[in-house]
Structures are given as structure tokens and as C-alpha cells.
């Protein structure tokens, strides 16, 4: 199978899984709880006039190890990059904080907590739920632009966000704001700039 076919297969698989995660989260809510999409914070982008973030920009950031405002990164040059849409928009940092708080309340109110985890309730489910709901917020903003929210697959050599450093594969989120790239642990709400993320050197895949 060619590299292009592999990328297409990965893209289809990711889209299918993300859709299944949203369905899982909606159907798994207890009847007395509310999966309150009405209150989702509508995405605030950095500037509607800014040039969208494209594959070329991803190449600049990660192939040349340059982050926001030319900050030096230590991300692997050979990490897999899968882009599901053609372009994205950075989000406002204050919206990012507001959305994170909303996501935490949503988890609490609906009993979607990072405890007693099974295969359908572990790190990848939380990360894909976060990315899917960020897309819903973008849709509700009335624009056709996808927010710059990605999935990261890493080797968790160092502890971060309440997750121990076991060396195994782990999934979490990466969001581009006007303050920089932020790694977000959706199970606990902890976040940090990418250049300060302890597992920055161990990123395996970037899926946006």
C-alpha cells in the first residue's frame, strides 16, 4: 500500500472513530443528566482576516521545529502528520480557556470521568471527544472554518496531567491559539505550551 493510501485509510478511520465517540458520549449519558450542547461556547477565532493555517504551515512548524513566534521546538522531524481538512483557524486564547472549563463541567455533569477506564472510556475517547466538540463549537460559530485542534499520539515516557510515565502510547490534544500551541490533557484539564511539554520529543502522530 502506498503512503498516500495509508494516509487516506488513516483519515477515514479517524473520521469514523470521531463520529462513534460523539455517538457514544450522547448515548452513554444518564437520563437525569444533560449533554448540554446548547451552552457550548461558540468559537472565537484569532482574526477573521488572518490567513488560514495550512499543510505548508504544519510543515514549517514541525519539519523545521519552529513553534509560535519562532520558539524552538524539539518535536520529532519524522512524526506522522495526518491532516483531515485543507485549512484551519487558530482560536482565541480566552475562548480556549472558556471551552476547557465548559468541557470539564460537561464531563462532571454527565458522569464522563477518567476513572475505572475500559477500552471505550480511556485516553483516546477523551481526546477525540474534545476535538469533536471543538468542531461543533466551530460549526455553531456560523463559519466554515475548522478550529486548529489536533490529536497527539505520544509515548508517555514522562508523567503529565495526572497520567503516569509508563512509556506506553497515550492520546491527548494540541490546540493553536494566539498565545501559542497548547498541549491539553482532556482527562484532567491540565495544559501547557508545547515547548514545555515533557513528552514533546516522543510525539508519534499529529492528527488534525
Q: How many CB atoms lie within 10 A of CB 148?
A: 24
82-135 pLDDT per residue, tens: 999 888 999 999 999 999 999 999 988 888 877 656 665 689 999 999 999 999
Confidence of residue 196 (pLDDT cuts 50, 70, 90): very high
Residue-range domains of the chain with CATH: 3-30+45-207 (3.30.460.70)
Closest CA to 91 of 6, 3, 174: 174
Please state, in angstroms and rounded to a whole number, the distance separating the CA atoms of residues 43 and 132: 13
Helical H runs in 53-173? 55-58, 93-109, 123-140
Calculate the average pLDDT of the chain.
Answer: 82
What three-state secondary structure class fits 89?
strand
The radius of gyration of the chain from alpha carbons, rounded to an integer in Å, stands at: 16
Pairing of strands 203-207, 149-155: antiparallel
Amino acid at each position: 500500500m502506498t503512503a498516500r493510501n495509508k494516509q487516506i485509510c488513516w483519515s477515514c478511520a479517524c473520521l469514523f472513530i470521531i463520529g462513534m465517540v460523539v455517538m457514544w458520549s450522547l448515548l452513554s449519558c444518564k437520563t437525569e443528566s444533560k449533554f448540554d450542547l446548547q451552552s457550548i461556547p461558540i468559537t472565537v477565532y484569532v482574526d477573521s482576516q488572518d490567513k488560514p493555517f495550512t499543510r505548508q504551515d504544519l510543515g514549517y512548524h514541525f519539519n523545521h521545529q519552529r513553534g509560535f513566534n519562532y520558539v524552538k521546538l524539539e518535536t520529532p522531524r519524522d512524526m506522522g502528520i495526518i491532516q483531515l481538512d485543507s485549512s484551519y483557524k487558530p482560536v482565541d486564547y480566552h475562548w480556549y480557556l472558556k471551552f476547557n472549563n465548559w468541557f470539564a463541567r460537561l464531563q462532571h455533569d454527565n458522569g464522563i470521568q477518567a476513572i475505572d477506564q475500559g477500552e471505550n472510556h480511556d485516553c483516546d475517547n477523551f481526546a477525540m471527544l474534545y476535538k469533536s466538540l471543538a468542531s461543533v463549537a466551530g460549526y455553531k460559530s456560523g463559519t466554515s472554518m475548522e478550529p486548529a485542534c489536533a490529536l497527539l499520539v505520544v509515548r508517555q515516557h514522562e508523567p503529565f496531567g495526572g497520567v503516569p510515565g509508563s512509556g506506553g502510547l497515550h492520546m491527548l490534544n494540541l490546540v493553536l491559539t494566539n498565545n501559542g500551541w497548547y498541549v491539553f490533557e482532556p482527562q484532567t484539564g491540565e495544559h501547557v505550551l508545547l515547548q514545555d511539554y515533557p513528552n514533546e520529543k516522543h510525539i508519534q502522530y499529529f492528527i488534525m
